[in-house]
Amino acid sequence: MELIKKFPPEEKYALTDGMRRASRSTTENIAEGFGRYHFQENIQFCRHSRGSLHELIDQLITALDEKYITNNEFSNGKELINKALALLNGYINYLVKAKSNTKTNGNIFHEDIEPYFQ
């Protein structure tokens, strides 16, 4: 968030707003998917989250092109996003495997939610 504070005022409701929304959407989608207690829904929300991270990369490229950020700031931001993508992809892979190893309840694959309430 510190990065977008130095953007020009005319970007307040454009690029900076988009960057703020994409970054928040990343964790919000992970949380919402987790709260669904169904593997497939969790996976889908994680994919939305992954899309938000790619959106943030695109917004960093725009900020670099407009010279709002330096090459170093761009590289640091992209490195952080790539780390988040790696973690998220690992979590998605875990969910896919867990889904395939879980018994079905009708046609719905779901997580055992009991451990979350202990």
Q: Is the pLDDT of residue 110 over 80?
A: no
Percent of the chain with pLDDT over 70: 86
User: How far is 24 from 18, CA to CA, in rounded Å?
Assistant: 10
Name 33's Cβ contacts closer than 8 Å, sequence gap at least 6.
Answer: 41, 42, 43, 44, 45, 46, 48, 49
Domains of the chain: 10-101 (1.20.1440.60)
Question: What is the tens place of the pLDDT at every residue in 40-54?
Answer: 999 999 999 999 999
User: How far is 27 from 58, CA to CA, in rounded Å?
Assistant: 18
Q: At 20, is the pLDDT very low, low, confident or very high (cuts 50, 70, 90)?
A: very high
The residue that leads in pLDDT, 36 or 62, is 62
What is residue 95's predicted lDDT score, i.e. its pLDDT? 93
Q: Is the pLDDT of residue 28 over 70?
A: yes
User: How far is 49 from 93, CA to CA, in rounded Å?
Assistant: 14
Encoded tokens for 26: 């990343």
